[in-house]
């Protein structure tokens, strides 16, 4: 069974992009030395990249070449994508997609992009691990790392690393077991 992973950068105040969907604040860290945690090492483990339509549209507007020629790319959308930038497939049902992804065995699955799609996977207990790179920057607002969805879950810290230029890497595994307060014993008659 494939591991479904998150790998994302956030500002110290918990935003992944500005209100205008700009990542310019993050691009200032392009020369960041992440050592063994570098994106190029991470992507070697990934066979399937899953992104939402907003992330795809953001990448499609960029003049850079399509970065995912080595991976299977699935875009979660209900709208057709005319003239796709790269080789990709679309899916519209997240539950069916999760079942499909959990049946894969040919490499890791990366949930790329914004917090909304990651949150959909978290809500369904389908994200196995997440690496969060906290950048030493306050951007004052924008797209939150985790959109408010009323979901409560417990994570297990696997590792922390202080990296170059004040970046901190947090690596967590999701605990998909029932929480003690959620797992109440059944009521028995006669008590």
Strand partners of residue 99 = none
Judge whether 136 and 13 are in contact, CB under 8 Å.
Answer: no
Kindly tell me if the per-residue pLDDT of 186 is higher than 50: no
pLDDT at 190: 43
Q: Residue 118 has which token pair?
A: 């990651």
Question: Taking CA 63 as the corner, what is the angle to CA 61 and CA 65, rounded to the nearest 5 degrees?
Answer: 110
Q: Band of the pLDDT at 27, cuts 50, 70, 90?
A: very high
pLDDT at 115: 83
Mean pLDDT, residues 36-42 taken together? 95
Mean pLDDT, residues 87-102 taken together? 96
pTM to 2 decimals?
0.88
DSSP string, 142-171: SEESS-------EEEEEEEEE-GGG-EEEE
Q: State pLDDT tens for residues 105-157.
A: 999 999 998 888 999 999 999 999 999 999 999 999 999 999 988 888 999 99
Rounded distance, CA 140 to CA 160, Å?
Answer: 25
Rounded distance, CA 15 to CA 72, Å?
Answer: 28
The residue whose two tokens read 């990542």 is: 23
Kindly tell me if the per-residue pLDDT of 176 is higher than 80: no
DSSP string, 43-62: HHTEEEEEEEHHHHHHHHHS
Q: State pLDDT tens for residues 45-76.
A: 999 999 999 999 999 998 999 999 999 999 99
User: What is the set of domains in the chain, with CATH numbers?
Assistant: 4-175 (3.40.430.10)
């Amino acid at each position: 069974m494939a591991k479904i992973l998150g790998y994302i950068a956030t500002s110290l105040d918990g935003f992944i992009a500005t209100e205008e969907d700009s990542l310019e604040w993050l691009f200032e860290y392009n020369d960041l030395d992440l050592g063994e945690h570098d994106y190029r090492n991470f992507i070697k483990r990934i066979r399937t990249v899953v992104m939402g339509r907003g992330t795809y549209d953001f990448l499609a507007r960029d003049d850079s070449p399509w970065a995912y020629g080595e991976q299977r790319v699935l875009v979660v959308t209900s709208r057709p994508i005319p003239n796709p930038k790269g080789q990709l497939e679309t899916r519209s049902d997240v539950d069916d997609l999760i079942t499909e992804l959990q049946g894969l065995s040919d490499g890791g699955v990366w949930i790329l992009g914004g917090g909304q799609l990651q949150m959909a996977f978290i809500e369904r207990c389908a994200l196995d691990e997440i690496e969060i790179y906290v950048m030493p920057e306050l951007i004052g607002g924008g797209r939150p790392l985790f959109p408010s969805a009323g979901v409560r879950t417990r994570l297990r810290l696997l590792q922390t690393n202080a990296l170059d230029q004040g970046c901190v890497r947090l690596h967590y595994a999701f605990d998909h077991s029932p929480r003690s307060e959620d797992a109440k014993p059944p009521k028995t008659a006669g008590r």
